[in-house]
Amino acid sequence: MDTTDRPLDIGVYGARGIPSTYSGYETFLTTLLPELVRRGDRVTMYCRKGEIDGEGPWAGVERRFLPAVAGKSTSTLSHGLVAAVAARAARHDVVLVVNVANAAFCALARYTRQPVVLNTDGQEWLRDKWGPTARKVFLGSAHIAGRCATSLVADCAAMADVYRDQFGAPSTVIPYCIPANDWSPRPVVVAERGLAPFGYLLIAGRHNPENNIDRVAEAVHRSDLPLPLAVLGTANYDSPVTRTVRELAEVDPRIRVFGHISDRGEFFDLVHHAAVYLHGHSVGGTNPSLVEAMGTGARICALDNPFNRETVGPDAAYFRLDPPNLAEVVGGLLAATPDADRTARAAVAARAAERFATDEVVDAYRAILRTAADERRPVALPTRWASDTAVVA
């Protein structure tokens, strides 16, 4: 895609800020925004005060720190409102917003003729971490997203189908990308954690119910699988998932809880050197941590759903939780020959490099941001990840 046109002035809000490895949004923006700057754009990220270290610009991205009302639900909504006002006052050419909960705030930009592109991400209204009121807010936000934002971005074709079929809103399909890094495998990092390279199972993610980390740990606890399960990640609230995993770890020495790993190199090493990387995310769409695991050449066993299958493709294994078959599927992977293991790892790494390359994803984002800024009307662009997506007026 052509990126040689004039620079854009881009405002960004909806995540805690950058740099961060806390969640998919923050990790993705930590890669995307400096790449936009490298292409000549001016980018301003509206960060939540007190949740990001440092001050001033980072990697060429201007950062403005704005307040938020503390709380699992109130933090996102209060900061979104303040950031929407600040971004409108700054008169950016276009605003990029993440998190569908901010859909109503996008209307402030769109209906005062400031183009705004909204990344809708996953099905937040299905997440058990939210109470009934919050889920209603997310579902209501999804219903109005197509009317409040100039353009929507879905991170996979299956999620674009949800917004088209359930909410009547077209989307431009652009996935998350492999984060830019110069990582290479270092087995010593794994040994320092008391694990044997390729001698453990691993699951990682935020400790939210829909990521099924506790259910996977319970399945391992009930099984006779010989390898330990390393559990990575945390939650920003008192999560019952974390409590369950810790209780299991107290009675089963195979369950080992490591918490959040902020060093990306160490995280990649732990994922890559697992005998099997388990991915239990059940709510669409594409999960950035799954893309990262593919990029490391992990041996992947994912929960069987359309979103995970679209991401990883045919060279992963897939398990069910209802009825459960995780032990049988993982046992089959552990019994595979070394050649079969190497072939599967190489295939998912090649798929990651081919489908989720940083340059192509950044170019696609810049194309939809440029189109929204220039045309100032609802538009969805065809992309290679969803070739049948049509431009609409």
pLDDT tens, position by position, 22-46: 667 788 999 999 999 999 999 999 9
Mean pLDDT along residues 156-184 = 90
Q: Residue 135: inside a domain, yes or no?
A: yes
Which pLDDT does position 392 carry in this prediction?
A: 35
Q: Residue 386: inside a domain, yes or no?
A: no
Has residue 338 got a pLDDT over 50?
yes
Which pLDDT does position 390 carry in this prediction?
A: 37
Domain extent for 225: 187-355
Which pLDDT does position 387 carry in this prediction?
A: 53
Q: Residue 380: inside a domain, yes or no?
A: no
In the predicted model, what is the mean pLDDT of the chain? 91
Mean pLDDT along residues 253-279 = 95
Asked if 146 contacts 167 with a C-beta cutoff of 8 angstroms, the reply is yes
Are 58 and 127 in the same domain? yes
| Identity of the residue numbered 208 | N
Q: Residue 128: inside a domain, yes or no?
A: yes
Has residue 391 got a pLDDT over 50?
no
| Burial class, 2, CB count within 10 angstroms (exposed 0-12 / middle 13-18 / buried 19+) | exposed
- Give the orientation angle of helix 132-148 with respect to helix 157-167, to 10 degrees: 90
Q: Residue 132: inside a domain, yes or no?
A: yes
Residue 210 carries which DSSP code?
G
Are 204 and 332 in the same domain? yes
The CATH number of whichever domain residue 113 belongs to comes to 3.40.50.2000
Are 39 and 116 in the same domain? yes
When computed from its CA atoms, the radius of gyration of the chain, rounded to whole angstroms, is: 21
| Stretch among 157-166, 240-249, 285-294 having the lowest mean pLDDT | 285-294
Are 81 and 193 in the same domain? no
* Confidence band, pLDDT 50/70/90 cuts, at residue 383: very high
Residue 205 carries which DSSP code?
S
Are 191 and 153 in the same domain? no
Question: What is the tens place of the pLDDT at every residue in 54-65?
Answer: 889 999 999 999
Distance CA 295, CA 291 (A): 6
Neighbours of 342 (CB within 10 A): 13
Distance CA 316, CA 152 (A): 29
Which pLDDT does position 80 carry in this prediction?
A: 92
Q: Residue 148: inside a domain, yes or no?
A: yes
Asked if 238 contacts 158 with a C-beta cutoff of 8 angstroms, the reply is no
DSSP letters for 70-137: -STTHHHHHHHHHHHHHHHHTT-SEEEEESGGGHHHHHHHHTTT--EEEE--S-GGG-TTS-HHHHHH
Are 164 and 197 in the same domain? no
| Stretch among 48-52, 178-182, 351-355 having the lowest mean pLDDT | 178-182
Return the residue matching tokens 């605003």. Answer: 95
| Residue scoring higher pLDDT (262 or 299) | 299
Percent of the chain with pLDDT over 70: 95
| Stretch among 193-202, 212-221, 381-390 having the lowest mean pLDDT | 381-390
- What's the number of domains the chain is made of? 2
Percent of the chain with pLDDT over 90: 76
Are 203 and 351 in the same domain? yes
Are 74 and 121 in the same domain? yes
Question: What is the tens place of the pLDDT at every residue in 70-108?
Answer: 776 688 889 999 999 999 999 999 999 999 999 999 999
Has residue 260 got a pLDDT over 80?
yes
Are 128 and 277 in the same domain? no
Has residue 1 got a pLDDT over 70?
no
Return the residue matching tokens 């090493």. Answer: 269
Q: Residue 390: inside a domain, yes or no?
A: no
Q: Residue 154: inside a domain, yes or no?
A: yes
pTM: 0.86
Has residue 326 got a pLDDT over 90?
yes
